[in-house]
Amino acid sequence: MTRAGIAPVAASAVGNILEHVTRALAIVGGLILVGLAIMTVCSILGRAFIFAGLSPVKGDYEMVEMGCAIAIFCFLPLCQMRRGHVTVDVFINVFPARVRIFLSLLGNTALFLAAALIAWRLWLGTIDKLSYGEETYELGLPLGYSYSAAMVGAVLFAVVAFYTMWRSLNEMIVGEEPH
């Protein structure tokens, strides 16, 4: 360890890469939600104009359920990267800077453990869904594929949470407040 933290140059390089990757994944999540919104509008219009020969989109509920789950996992890494998760600043702001930095490290450590647990359990769920060939009721879509897509975001979330733990540790060593 140096006065500037643990491998600060590497931390900066990793941070830049993760920033770009998490932003790209969040854009994918946003595109998924836009597609789901368009599909939902089409489905609602189909229901409203059944008398005119239109019909709702078959399996719309299934697609919204799977798509929203995937989109959420697409957003989590960027949220963690940019310190977007909820903190209780009302209570923390009364403490000295060193205590706030330590609490940030503690929170990032807890979030890393939670993210790793989520990624691990989602991995096991993916294997289970793929091995049994479980499908959605209406469309017969394999559930394992949506689990696999969500797992990409979950694994990246765990990686980013580990990185933010590293970032917080460096901030604590240097004594620098998070920005």
Count the neighbouring beta carbons within 10 Å of the beta carbon of residue 175.
10
- Write down the pLDDT at residue 93: 80
CA distances 119 to 6, 28, 55, 116, 154, Å, are 26, 19, 38, 5, 5
Query: How does pLDDT run across 9-40, given as a tens digit for each residue?
Result: 898 899 999 999 999 999 999 999 999 999 99
* Rounded-to-integer distance, Cα 12 and Cα 15, Å: 5
Query: How does pLDDT run across 47-65, given as a tens digit for each residue?
Result: 999 999 999 999 999 999 9
The stretch 110-137 carries a mean pLDDT of: 96
- Write down the pLDDT at residue 35: 98
Residue 98 corresponds to which tokens in the numbers above? 């060193």
- Write down the pLDDT at residue 8: 82
The stretch 166-170 carries a mean pLDDT of: 92
Q: What is the DSSP letter of 108?
A: H
The overall average pLDDT reported for the chain is 92
Residue 66 confidence (pLDDT) above 90: yes
Residue 1 banded pLDDT, cuts 50, 70, 90: very low
Residue 165 banded pLDDT, cuts 50, 70, 90: very high
Q: What is the pTM of this model?
A: 0.89
Residue 1 corresponds to which tokens in the numbers above? 């360890």
Beta carbons within 8 Å of 46's beta carbon, 6+ residues apart:
54, 55, 56, 57
Q: What length is written for the chain?
A: 179
